[in-house]
Structures are given as C-alpha cells and as structure tokens.
Amino acid sequence: MFHKILIANRGEIAMRVIRTCREMGIATVAVYSDADKKAAHRFCADESVHIGSSEPARSYLNIERIIAAAQETGAMAIHPGYGFLSENADFAAACEAAGVIFIGPPSKVIRALGDKTVARRMMVDSGVPVTPGMHRAETDPVRLAEAAEQLGYPVLIKAAGGGGGKGMRIVASSDQLPEACRSAAREAAAAFGNADIYIEKYIARPRHVEIQVLADAHGNVIHLLERECSIQRRHQKIIEESPSTALTPILRDKMGQAAVAAARAAGYVNAGTVEFLLDENGGFYFLEVNTRLQVEHPVTEMITGIDIVRHQIEIAAGRKLNLSQSDIAGRGHAIECRIYAEDPENDFFPSPGKILFLQEPTGPGIRNDGGVYSGATVPLEYDPILSKLIVYAENRELAVKRMRDALSRYVILGIKTPILFLMDVMDSETFKQGDTHTDFIPRHFANWKPTPVNPHGACLAFAVHELTGKKRSEAFSTAKGQFPTPWETLGNWR
Amino acid sequence: MEYNLRISDADIRMEIDPHRENNSLTAVIGEQEYRVSYEAVSENRIYMVVDDGKEKIGMDAYVAQTADGKVIHINGGVCMVSDNDDSSRQQRKKNGAAGLPDRVTPPMPSLVISVLVKTGDTVEKGQGVVVVSAMKMETTLMAPYAGKVRSVNVAEGDKAAPGDILVDIERAETYKN
C-alpha cells in the first residue's frame, strides 16, 4: 500500500479524499495556488505544496509542476479528484512515465473514453445502446449543419473532450447553430484544452441515470447500483439521489449489466461511472463514461455502505476487489444537494466572495462534504462548489424531509447560495412524487423567487444585533472582502 | 430609537425601546407591538423570544454585517435588511444607480471572450453585445436599451472589472428624427 498520496485538487473533494487516506494510515500532500493560500484543503493535509498562480493553467492544470510536487514530497500516487486533470489522459500518461501511480484508469482507457465519439463507437460495438448522432468530432460548420439537419432539430452540441455541461448547447433551429458551435468550441477549448465538438439528437424530457462501477486490474468488474441525477441547471447536476424512482428491479439489473459490459469493453480499471439517458418508456441510451470519482459519489456510499475512495486507492495499489456483485445491496434512500456559491434568482450565476459566517447542519443521517469555513473567500477562478449536503434515511419520503430540515439549518452568510431554492424543491409535490426529469428546473422552477421571510422577525433581529453587536465601522472593515460583495454587484446583472 | 429599514422592496419603520440591563426590548412595527427578550449567543448568532401579545415564539437568528446592511438568516429564511438612514450606504446606492444598471459592465472581474457588435451598429434592447467569462462560465452581457453603438472599449482577451463600460451605447431616443 502507498505510504503517501498527493491530491491534485482543491476544495471539498480534496478534503474528502484526505479523510479516507487518514483512515487508511496514508500520509497526504495537498497542492494549492496563490488564490488558495488560505483554502481549507491545504490545512487538513499532512503537508502542502504551492504549485503556482491562481489561473488553473498555471497551477491545478500544470502537469509537470504537480508531478514534480509528488516526487519532491515522496508521494507514490496521485489522486486527481474530479474536474481539473482527473480525466486528462496526458496527465495519467505523464504519471505513468514518471513512475507515480495515477489513482484512476490507465491513460489509454481515459483517452479512448475521453473522446466521446470513440466511446460511442466502442459501445455500439459491444451492444450498449447509444443516442443517435455523429460518431466523429467535426469542426467544419457545413458538415455540422448537415449532421444537425439529418438528425432533425432540436439537437445537442457536445464537447468531444469532456463533460460537466461545459461546451454543451441545445440548438432549436439552424440559424442558431453557427454561433452555438463557436461558443461551445471555445468553452470546450478553455475547459478541456480540446475544441472538438459533435452533435447528437436531443432527447426531450429524459432522466439522467448513471451506474457506478468498480473494476480491478485482475478482470473483476461490479456495479454499485444507480444514481438519479436528472435535476440540473446549466447542464450541471444540483440534486442527486439513489435509488432512482424511475427504475424497476428488472430495469436496474439491465442497466447495471450494460454498465458492466461498457466497462469491460473499455478495459476499465478503477472507479468509474457509466451515464445513461432514460426515456419515458424505459429505453436507455449510453451517454458517456466518467473516468473519475463523481461529485455525487456520496449517495452511493450512503446506500451501499461502501467507501468508493478506499476502493479506488486499493485498486490503484494493485489489490483484487474484495467484493462481488452479490455483496452489493442498496439499503434506504440517500439524497445529495450541491451547495454552490451561486445566485438561484439570477440563472444560478456564480457569486464569489467572502463567507462571513458558516454553520453546517448536523444530526442523524446527515453528511457534510465541505471545503470552506467561516471567513473563507470563494475565489472566482474555480468551479464555485462550496460543499455537498447528503442525507440518508430509511425511505425516500423520510430522506426528503430530512434534507428539507437540514437545509433549513444550513447557515451561509455573505455569499449567495441555492439553499432556499433547494428547500422549495424538497417541498414541491413534483419532487416528492419523484417526477424528476432534466427539464425539472425550467419546467417547475423558472423565475423562482424566494418566499419572503418573516419581515418583523428580521427587523427585530436587526435591532438586537445593533444593540449587542460590534460598532458598525469595525464590522465593515472585517466584512469587506477582496471583491465587491454580490450584494453590491449582482443586483444589476441583466 | 427609530429605524427606517428596508427588506426586499418593502420599507419598514420600527420604533424600539431597549432595556439592555435585562436583555430585552419593546418594539412597535406598524400597529404591532412586540416584547422581545434576547441573548447574543455569539457575534453572529442571536436567540430571541418574541411575544406579540398572543403567543411567544422562539427565533434563532444568524446575522452578518455587510457593506449594504445585515444579512439575516432566521428560522430557515434569509434576507438582507438595510438601514435607510445610513447615509454612506445611501450615497453608494445613488452612485450605483446612476452608473451600473444602464451600462454594459460585468458584475464581477471577468475575461472578455468575444465582442458581438462594432461601432455604429444599431442594437435592440436585450441584444447580446459582449460575451464574458468568469469562474469558467460564459455569460452574454446585453444591451440595456435600444440604440446605436458609440464605442467599443474592449477587445477579445481583455480583462474587465465591474464598472468598466465595455460598450457605450447611445439611446435610441436621442438620435430618432
């Protein structure tokens, strides 16, 4: 087993990985950029290495610098987390070349699956159903237009090089196609260093259901059931749960088997996720394989009782899976809400700034995967995820209530978050009924506004704070962050 | 003691009579009178028992001071409460109102990805004029009103800060014949 691991990431996921390492008795190395000198992940590792300036390209995406940091500190393996270099085949290859173990699949598997068009062909060949669309990336606008015409509008532009909604655009008609392609390619180039895009048929009102798989280097592949991730904004998930309300035991079994077949077809090793679109008739289509730990992995951990990060590390160290498919059973229900620095009243636009006060809820069945603290500044250079709130209960109805209550006790002051929005989702009949599709937010929560709070109570609290609090001028100097606060700026957005 | 407060879009006038010696106050908001006993649990946390004459309700409130007022989390809801009598804030609001909403400026430090118009173009209200990126997300800044582009002050790759006027647009009314 490794005696030391470097975590090439930041925020909540770096802290999540460090926790398991501590349990395993593995020393940890954090890396940080200029913007993250005071970031929480840096302080919970055994040691930390400064890897460059705030721009991702000069720090968290700097392959040479990160591998050098591992070598300087004597780390034998690197956990990439999600985002940044986690699905970068060049990074995995560079680790392999440098003799540092990359905790993830082999670089050639990442490369093959990372090109979504190659992955689609691979799945077609192994009998896994895929959505109709292009099998090759394209840059020629004429050919892209032809492909879109053939599939019929609306179509979906996707980045060949990555996921997470970056570089993705729904296009309703041909006149929108050229600008949408240009902007998608630009976003893809910025996010993944690869501007290739392709076009798929847009499936209306699908559900997004994914299967977690674990595969060792000895040919054993199992799946850890599904996650329902249909509720998304900006093509990014915000609420995930397991089990999915849409799966029957038979469908679950079929999708699980398809995911295992997909992993085998790709020669997959380590933890991965096979994403599917599920239509209203129970038809499912391969979307992509995420060759990394997913943001939403905790819901699977809660219902299966399995620490996925521990298995990632053991698999990377060459161990055989000590689990077989018959060991895997889901119990109860888990829901995750992602807490971002963003404004749900303004199209979920990022809201960086200083967290003046933070108090996370605790209690039975509540898990916080957090990466910030009271007084932390959320930098504008990175994905604005702050934390994930996960609840577990014996059934879905109780899990929804538990999440609703936990959210109401989640206090984050100073930056905008979607907490009130998430509470309203938990209160909605459509969510309670499990009627979750990818159009959930635009269909049920377009132009959402928070329910006004008890204004008299707030005024009384204001008065008490004035009477008991510090002098205003002092409070001002501590409250002023590095950036203009969202209260000063976002009100005028649009 | 009188407060003129603002929550969301509502102005609320509140009269309070503090009794610091026993951590209590009486308050009148509109027609309603409240007797409040409180405990400042920490710098950011207040516990109040509010008696409106009919019932006593316990309220757990978290408060943080910002430049624009106090952000208050109370029983699961969050709001901004500002003091209309705070002159420094008034002044800043006024400056903001004159400058920001009718100009093309990013809401936070951003990178200019592309400029969609050129000097002399006629634009419609709500038409995209500049695409900026912040926190790896692209957003299109729109024309705040119909008009004619007087000048384009940025180019692709430039950094822009809130308050910078990226595209100067002359209102349609002013050149209508």
Is A234 an annotated catalytic residue? no
Nearest alpha-carbon partner for B71 in A379, A356, A478, A350 = A356
All residues of chain B having their beta carbon less than 8 Å from the beta carbon of residue A178 are: none
- Residue A181 to residue A176: CA distance in whole angstroms: 9
Contacts of A164 (CB under 8 A, 6+ apart): A83, A191, A235, A236
Coil vs helix vs strand at B95: helix
B44 with B113, same domain: the answer is: no
Comparing alpha-carbon positions, the chain A residue that sits nearest to B70 is A462
pLDDT digits (tens, 9 = 90+) for B59-80: 999 999 988 899 999 988 899 9
pLDDT at B177 over 50: no
B38 with B75, same domain: the answer is: yes
Rg (CA), chain B: 23
All residues of chain B having their beta carbon less than 8 Å from the beta carbon of residue A492 are: 96, 100-101, 107
Decide: A220 and A299 in contact? Cβ < 8 Å: no
User: Which of B26, B47, B73 to mutate to test binding with chain A, by most A CBs within 10 Å of its CB?
Assistant: B73
All residues of chain A having their beta carbon less than 8 Å from the beta carbon of residue B18 are: 463, 467
Contacts of B86 (CB under 8 A, 6+ apart): B69
B34 with B89, same domain: the answer is: yes
Domain-terminating residue out of B72, B98, B124: B98
B14 with B90, same domain: the answer is: yes
In angstroms, how far is CA A472 from the centroid of its own chain? 39
- Residue B86 to residue B83: CA distance in whole angstroms: 5
Domains of chain A in start order, with CATH, are 4-103 (3.40.50.20), 132-201 (3.30.1490.20), 207-445 (3.30.470.20)
- Residue A112 to residue A133: CA distance in whole angstroms: 18
Nearest alpha-carbon partner for A160 in A273, A285, A288, A268 = A288
Give the minimum alpha-carbon distance from A410 to chain B in angstroms, rounded to a whole number: 8
pLDDT digits (tens, 9 = 90+) for B25-61: 999 999 999 999 999 999 999 999 999 999 999 999 9
List the helix and strand counts (H, then E) for chain B.
1, 15
Chain A contact present for B146, CB below 8 A: no
B129 with B64, same domain: the answer is: no
Give me the interface pTM, i.e. the ipTM: 0.79
Are B44 and A413 an interchain contact pair (Cβ–Cβ within 8 Å)?
A: yes
All residues of chain A having their beta carbon less than 8 Å from the beta carbon of residue B12 are: 455-456, 459
- Residue A139 to residue A132: CA distance in whole angstroms: 19
Residue pairs between chains A and B whose CB atoms are closer than 8 Å: 193
The overall longest dimension of chain A from CA atoms, in Å, is 72
Residue B171 pLDDT: 84
Decide: B148 and B122 in contact? Cβ < 8 Å: yes
For tokens 């943001």, name the residue.
Answer: A295
* Residue A338 β-bridge partners: A388
Give the minimum alpha-carbon distance from A95 to chain B in angstroms, rounded to a whole number: 26
Cα A276 to Cα A168, A285, A320, distances in angstroms: 16, 5, 28
Closest Cβ–Cβ partner in B3, B8, B66 for A463? B3
B115 with B88, same domain: the answer is: no
* Residue B136 binned pLDDT confidence (cut-offs 50, 70, 90): low
Comparing alpha-carbon positions, the chain B residue that sits nearest to A410 is B76
Residue B138 pLDDT: 77
Give the minimum alpha-carbon distance from B166 to chain A in angstroms, rounded to a whole number: 14
Domain-terminating residue out of B98, B121, B150: B98
Chain A contact present for B76, CB below 8 A: yes
Are A487 and B80 an interchain contact pair (Cβ–Cβ within 8 Å)?
A: yes
Residue type, A335: I
Residue A470 pLDDT: 63
Chain A contact present for B73, CB below 8 A: yes
All residues of chain B having their beta carbon less than 8 Å from the beta carbon of residue A386 are: none
B18 with B94, same domain: the answer is: yes
Residue B77 pLDDT: 87
Are B3 and A234 an interchain contact pair (Cβ–Cβ within 8 Å)?
A: no
Apex A9 CA angle, A227 and A164, nearest 5: 40
**Tokens read off for A117:** 């068009």
Residue B87 pLDDT: 58
End-to-end CA distance of chain A: 54
For tokens 């900026």, name the residue.
Answer: B132
| CATH for B143 | 2.40.50.100
Q: What is the DSSP string of A394-429?
A: SSHHHHHHHHHHHHHT-EEESS--SHHHHHHHHHSH
Are A460 and B66 an interchain contact pair (Cβ–Cβ within 8 Å)?
A: no
pLDDT at B90 over 70: no
Inter-axis angle of helices A11-24 and A308-316, nearest 10: 70
All residues of chain B having their beta carbon less than 8 Å from the beta carbon of residue A458 are: 7, 61, 72, 74, 79, 81
Decide: A98 and A80 in contact? Cβ < 8 Å: no
Chain A contact present for B145, CB below 8 A: no
* Backbone phi, psi, residue A235, to 5°: 60, 20
Comparing alpha-carbon positions, the chain B residue that sits nearest to A479 is B66
Q: Which residue range(s) make up the domain with B160?
A: 105-175
Comparing alpha-carbon positions, the chain B residue that sits nearest to A449 is B8
- Residue A61 to residue A41: CA distance in whole angstroms: 17
Comparing alpha-carbon positions, the chain B residue that sits nearest to A83 is B136
Contacts of B148 (CB under 8 A, 6+ apart): B120, B121, B122, B123, B169, B170, B172, B175
Size (chain A), residues: 494
* Counted domains in chain B: 2
All residues of chain B having their beta carbon less than 8 Å from the beta carbon of residue A357 are: 44, 62, 64
B14 with B71, same domain: the answer is: yes
Comparing alpha-carbon positions, the chain B residue that sits nearest to A166 is B137
B41 with B127, same domain: the answer is: no
In angstroms, how far is CA A399 from the centroid of its own chain? 21
Q: Give pTM, 2 decimals.
A: 0.81
Give the minimum alpha-carbon distance from B172 to chain A in angstroms, rounded to a whole number: 19
Decide: A303 and A245 in contact? Cβ < 8 Å: no
pLDDT at B92 over 70: no
Walk along chain A (494 residues) in steps of 10 and give the mean pLDDT of each run.
98 98 98 96 97 95 98 98 96 98 97 88 91 86 92 91 81 92 90 88 91 98 98 92 97 97 96 94 91 98 98 98 96 98 90 93 97 94 95 98 97 95 97 95 92 89 89 44 48 43
Contacts of B169 (CB under 8 A, 6+ apart): B104, B123, B129, B143, B144, B145, B147, B148, B149, B150
pLDDT at B21 over 80: yes
Residue A453 pLDDT: 81
Are A479 and B64 an interchain contact pair (Cβ–Cβ within 8 Å)?
A: yes
Cα A109 to Cα A94, A203, A267, A271, distances in angstroms: 14, 28, 7, 12
* Residue B18 β-bridge partners: B25
* Backbone phi, psi, residue A420, to 5°: -65, -35
pLDDT at B97 over 50: no
B122 with B82, same domain: the answer is: no
B125 with B45, same domain: the answer is: no
Domain-terminating residue out of B63, B82, B98: B98
Inter-axis angle of helices A107-114 and A116-125, nearest 10: 90
Closest Cβ–Cβ partner in B5, B68, B113 for A487? B68
Give the DSSP letter of residue B166: S
B7 with B92, same domain: the answer is: yes
Burial class (CB in 10 A: 0-12, 13-18, 19+), B87: exposed
Decide: B28 and B14 in contact? Cβ < 8 Å: yes
Coil vs helix vs strand at A186: helix
* Backbone phi, psi, residue A78, to 5°: -125, 125
Range B94-101 average pLDDT: 41
